Amino acid sequence: MTYPTLDYLGVLTAQEIASAQPLTFKTYVPTGTYPTTWDLEASTITGQPNAILHDLFSFTAVEDVTYDIFSFSFFDPFLIRLYDNLGRVIAVDQESAGTYGMDHLSQFVAPYSGTMYVDAGWNQGYADANKYVSLYINADLDTIPKPTNTLIGTDGADRFTATKSSDLVNGYKGIDTMVYGGKRADYNIVKNADMLTVSSNVKHEGTDVLRSVEKLVFADSVADMQYGDLTQALYIGYFGRAADVGGLKSFQDQLAKLGAPTSANDLGERYAKDAAVKNLIDSFGTSAESKALYSGDTNTFVKAIYHNVLNRDADQAGLDFWSKAIDSGSLTRANASLSILAGAQTNTSAQGLNDALLVNNKISVASNFTFGLETDGKEASYNSLGAAAVARDLLKSVTALTDANTFQSTVKQAVAGLPAVARNAPDHADDLPLAHFDAPAIELNGIDSHLASPLFA
C-alpha cells in the first residue's frame, strides 16, 4: 500500500539498517502509571556510555495495529524517527511541552505488516556519559478492524454503538441513533443518496455504512439527519449553495419544533395551511441572498430558478405554468423555489426523472460540503460572498450521473480552498432571519398541492 514519507529527513543507509538492534515484543504488564489498553511491549534500557551511538532498533509491525513509542534519556531526546523497511521516515514525534527527558510518538497506525526501524534520538549529553536511556514500543492489538458487523433495527427507536470494526447498519423504522466515541471533527461523513458512510480520521475503526439512521451522537455534539436533506434542498433552492453548519442546525431545529414533514413536496403542501411553516419558508424567499439570485419580471425570475436548481433552461411548458401560477397569485415568489424543486423531485416524465436525480445528487454533495466544514474545521471560512461562490460553483458541476462517493475528492478540494476572509456583521445583517418567525404572514396563498405535478409538458 502507499503511505506518506518524510523525505526531507533523509534515508537510512544499508549499513545503518544492518546495524539496527532487533527488539522482541512480549505481553504488556500494566504498571499503574500508563494505560492498560496496550497488549504488547518491546523495550530496551541501558546505561552504557556509548548508547547514543547505537540508538537504532528494528521491530516487526502488524498492519492496522496502533503503536505508542516512548524514548527516555538524560537530556531531552532529539527526535524519535520511525522508518519503513526501505529506510524512509514515515513518522516523527510531535514536540510538545511535557515531561523533560521523554519524547512520545503517539498513536501510530502501521500501514503494513513487516519490519520497521526506530531511531530513539537519545541524548546523554556526550558519548561517554554514564546516563541511563530507554526505549519502549507499546502495541494495542484491539485497533485491528474486525469483520463487518451487521446491525438491524426494529420498528421502534433503536440506539446503536459503533464498534472498532466496520458496521453495516439499517435502522428501519423509528428515529434511530448511532453513537461514536470521538468528537465530531474526528470523523469523515459522506452521503450518497440514502446511505451515509462514516469513518474515523484519527483511528482505525473500519468504515460504517448507515441507512435509516436519523441521529449521529458524538462526544461533543449530535448530528440530526432527520431534516438534513430537506434543509439542504431549501438552501439549494433559495441560495444555490450548501448550508453553513450553524444554519443547517438552526433550521433543522425549527423544522423539528414545527413538526414539519421531511420532504419538499409535503412541506409545500403545509405552506398553504400552516402560518408558522409559511413564515419560515418566506424568510428564505424574502432574504437578501435569495433576492440577489432571483429578481426581475416573472419569466426572468422563473428562468433563474431553473438555472440555479436544475442547471438548465426552462422548457416552455414549465416556464408558462410557473409564471402563470405566480402572476395569478396562486403561488408566491417566496414559495416558488420550494414548489419548483418539489415538482422536480416528484415528476415522472423522462425529463422529470433526470431532474430528480440531479436534485438528489446536489443534496448529497451539499450535505458532504457541510460535513466537510466540520471535519476540516472550516466553519468560520464559509461566511463570505467568495465562499458562497465556491459552493455554488461546486453544485453547478453536479449532474444527474454524479456519484457522490467518487465526487468526494472534488468536495474536499472545494472545502480546502475556501477563502479565509471573515465576514463583517453588516455583510450578513439581511441574511435568513431565522429569529423572526412571528412576522406578518403574506396575504397570497401558496400553490395547491395538485399543481405541483405538471412541471414539464
- How many Cβ atoms are within 10 Å of 186's Cβ, its own excluded? 18
Q: Dump pLDDT digits (tens) for 324-369.
A: 999 998 888 888 888 998 888 888 888 889 999 999 999 999 999 9
> CA-CA distance, 138 to 38, in Å (whole number)?
6
> CA-CA distance, 98 to 304, in Å (whole number)?
59
Query: Do the Cβ atoms of 217 and 181 come closer than 8 Å?
Result: no
Domains of the chain: 7-143 (2.60.120), 149-224 (no CATH), 228-451 (no CATH)
H helices of 329-426, where? 333-346, 350-375, 385-396, 408-416
Q: Model pTM?
A: 0.65
Count helices and strands in the chain by DSSP H and E runs: 12, 19
- The pLDDT, as a whole number, for residue 434 is 36
> CA-CA distance, 366 to 397, in Å (whole number)?
12
- The pLDDT, as a whole number, for residue 96 is 61
The span from the first CA to the last CA of the chain, in angstroms, equals 53
Within a 13 Å sphere around the CA of 114, how many CA atoms are in the beta-carbon half?
Answer: 8
Query: Do the Cβ atoms of 183 and 144 come closer than 8 Å?
Result: no
- Please state, in angstroms and as integers, the Cα–Cα distance from residue 380 to each residue in 38, 44, 239, 244, 327, following that order: 38, 47, 18, 9, 40
Q: Comparing C-alpha atoms, which of 310, 291, 287, 311 is closest to residue 301?
A: 291
The helix or strand, by DSSP H or E, that contains position 313, with its residue range, turns out to be none
- Please state, in angstroms and as integers, the Cα–Cα distance from residue 249 to each residue in 75, 190, 222, 226, 442, following that order: 50, 17, 10, 11, 26
> CA-CA distance, 223 to 177, in Å (whole number)?
10
> CA-CA distance, 311 to 303, in Å (whole number)?
10
> CA-CA distance, 214 to 206, in Å (whole number)?
21
Q: Dump pLDDT digits (tens) for 408-440.
A: 999 999 999 887 654 443 444 444 433 333 333
Residue segments in the chain with a per-residue pLDDT below the cut of 50: 422-457
Paired sense of beta strands 56-61 and 21-22, if any: parallel
